[in-house]
Amino acid sequence: MSVVTRFAPSPTGELHLGSAYSARVAWQWAREAGGRFLVRVEDTDIRRCRREYETAMLEDLRWLGLDWDGEVRRQSDHFADYGRVLDELDGRGLIYPCFCTRADIAREIAAASSAPHGAPHGPDGPLYPGTCRHLSNEERQRRVADGVEFCMRLDAARAAEQAGPYAFVDETQGRIEGQPLLMGDFVIARKDTPTSYHLAVTVDDHLQGVTLVTRGEDLLPSTHVHGLLQKLLGYAAPQYAHHRLLTDPTGRRFAKRDKDLTIRALREAGKTPQEVFALIDAFPVSA
């Protein structure tokens, strides 16, 4: 089977050293295997993403010589694909509308924290307490008719039951048993878009025939829920290679806020692509 990898940046800022490193990991796996390297623009967060950043990122990738195969897929052009999958999950009784505001959720969590078992935690802090999972259909319809904004959440316990056990393989860590409840009832469609990061990534990796997902190890928890969605939807699970994150000498990760370490800034300062890669190779990676 031919290797297909992808680099999937969100255009919320300029390409920096950390993301260029990540792009090169995916590019290298594909090129060494004589496979395909895809680029996908993950712009479902329409409030934060900008077309100018997308154009700049693609230009920077090209300048670095990280050439990609085929068309760039832009997620905001494919909402209908995600909508179809949402409808399927809905038909199977696996998703529900959630009308909670951030303040509602914080209040529920604070109340649960004083209970004997406390509020359940996930990798990013307390999990959604499940308030809206218990609403009656009539109540849901009433709130929708009243124009209350809502997102959609996956009923993780029910999904785990329908999916059954699953596992995924990471190139360095080997076989990892899927933990379907790791992120609780996560958001599967946001209030402002008919999808979420988790849904769009899972659907796209499947539709694009991605065989090896390379991405930062900070996204390992997400892989557990992507595995759950793949199992539910009957998609073949890709292999994974979670890579370490490039850090500055103090151990801090690069982020879009590090303006002087964008590829653009380095290029304008007269560096060549070779010098940029040499710089990347000189930085430490997370322990």
Instruction: Give the residue numbers marked as catalytic.
Output: 256
Q: How far is the CB of 42 from ligand GLU (least distance, A)?
A: 4
Structure tokens at 123: 């990798």
Distance from CA of residue 285 to its chain's centroid?
21
Cβ atoms of 284 and 253 within 8 Å: the answer is no
Q: How far is the CB of 274 from ligand GLU (least distance, A)?
A: 25
Please list the alpha-helical segments (H only) found in 117-245: 137-145, 156-163, 197-207, 220-233
Phi-psi region of 251 (alpha: psi -120 to 50; beta: other; left: phi over 0): left
Our CB check for ligand GLU shows the closer of 159 and 201 to be 201
Our CB check for ligand GLU shows the closer of 161 and 192 to be 192
Our CB check for ligand GLU shows the closer of 109 and 237 to be 237
Q: How far is the CB of 63 from ligand GLU (least distance, A)?
A: 19
CA distance 127 to 119: 7
Q: What is the dihedral of CA 187, 191, 194, 200, to 10 degrees?
A: -40
CA distance 34 to 3: 7
Q: How far is the CB of 242 from ligand GLU (least distance, A)?
A: 10
Our CB check for ligand GLU shows the closer of 157 and 280 to be 280
Q: How far is the CB of 280 from ligand GLU (least distance, A)?
A: 17
Work out whether strand 174-177 and strand 121-122 pair parallel, antiparallel, or are unpaired.
Answer: unpaired
**Burial zone of 282 (CB within 10 Å; 0-12 exposed, 13-18 middle, 19+ buried):** exposed
Our CB check for ligand GLU shows the closer of 13 and 97 to be 13
Q: What is the dihedral of CA 209, 214, 216, 220, to 10 degrees?
A: 60
Residues binding ligand GLU (CB under 6 A): 8-10, 42, 201, 215, 219
Whole-angstrom CA distances from 207 to 17, 53, 159 are 29, 25, 21
